[in-house]
Structure 1
Amino acid sequence: MRQLAKILAALVLLSGLTSTPAVLAQEGGEDAAIRDVITRQLDAFLADDATRAYSFAAPGIQRLFPGEERFMGMVRQGYPPVYRPRSRDFGALRQTPQGPVQEVTLIDANGQSWLALYTMEQQPDGSWKIAGVRLVREDAVAA
């Protein structure tokens, strides 16, 4: 009986060790994929590429703002730090009940720092889309 308990304990330990790298790899891949989507959309805004920028918006955002030009107009008017960031720095990726939220610090054209909170949505094909962005003005101003 004692030998059986040792064997079971060893199996539990080994199964935990073998599953941990897979979980970490999955989380690392999710982080990279989410950052890539945000980076590509920010690059599209800088290039004034409405088609590409719009392609990273989740279906719900596309329903709210049908058409690439309408979407770009909304971003230009309501989200200037997202539309024309001088710099960007990725922060933490947090899991929330609404899905993953990626923190990105953006510096706008005037040097004002903003915390952009990107709510992400995984699509049926496994890809990630941007379901919303909330901007929080920070106290810092860059030179």
Structure 2
Amino acid sequence: MKQLILVVLILVGLGVKNVRAEGDTPGMQPRNAMEQAIAGQIAAFRADDFATAFAFAAPKIQGAFGDAANFGAMVRGGYSVMLNPADMQFLARRVEGGILWQRVLYRDIHGGIHIFDYEMIEGVNGWLIGAVVPVAQPKVSA
């Protein structure tokens, strides 16, 4: 019986969660601790609080950037859609090569779509973000 309940919870957790970013990020309602970590980092970005956003990064990311200011500069330069997305959706989660990935779709303020895979690492105090990798999108011809 416990196994059946676990399977149902996993299947429910793999569904798509739409998150509107109108107003403040606290309107987001992530379904689990992993999504809460990502949503928490986005909330910190929206508040221009890179120290809090940096706290959601795994130790290897923190080591690579050294401090919140360097981390913030990287986000502003290469991941600006995450600073104030118009919309975001939690998509599929998968395990690949022993690594847990959470896919997230962002819509920017101009309607552009941006998809990223988040490497999620379970830390002592909860989930941390180990990497964020842009997902190549197919070219659409008119």
TM-score (norm 2): 0.75
In 2, are the aligned partners of 1:113 and 1:139 still within 8 Å (CA)?
A: no
For 1:130 and 1:65, the matched residues in 2 are separated by 14
For residues 71 and 26 of structure 1, do their structure 2 counterparts lie closer, same or farther at Cα, with a shift above 3 Å needed?
A: same
Cross-structure match for 2:63: 63
Per residue, is there more helix in 1 or in 2?
A: 1
Q: For the Cα contact (< 8 Å) 1:85–1:108, is it kept in 2?
A: yes
RMSD of aligned Cα (Å): 2.6
Once the two structures are TM-superposed, the CA of residue 139 in structure 1 deviates from its matched residue by 6.0
Question: Could you give the per-residue CA deviations for residues 108-135 of structure 1, whole angstroms, max 9, x where no partner exists?
Answer: 2332101111111112x26110001011
For the pair 1:122 / 2:106, whether they are aligned, the reply is no
Distance 2:98 2:48 in 1: 30
Offset of residue 93 of structure 1: 1.0
C-alpha separation between the residues in 2 aligned to 1:127 and 1:23? 22
- Provide the residue aligned with 1:111 in structure 2: 111
Higher normalized contact order (CA 8 Å, seq sep 6+, divided by chain length): 2
- Partner Cα separation in structure 1 for residue 11 and residue 99 of structure 2: 14
Tell me the residue number matched to 1:13: none
1:135: which partner in 2? 134
CA distance, structure 1, for counterparts of residue 95 and residue 44 of structure 2: 26
Structure 1, unmatched stretches of 5+, are 1-16
Q: Deviations over 1:7-41 (max 9, x none)?
A: xxxxxxxxxx3333246557878x61110000010
Letter in 1 for 2:113: S
Q: Measured at CA, do residues 114 and 27 of structure 1 come closer, stay the same or move farther in structure 2, by a change above 3 Å?
A: same
Gapped regions of structure 2 (runs ≥ 5)? 14-30
Identical aligned residues as a percent: 31
Where does 1:44-83 land on structure 2 (aligned, <5 Å)?
44-83=44-83
Moved over 3 A (4+): 22-29, 137-140
TM-score normalised by length of structure 1: 0.75
Pick the structure with greater CA Rg: 1
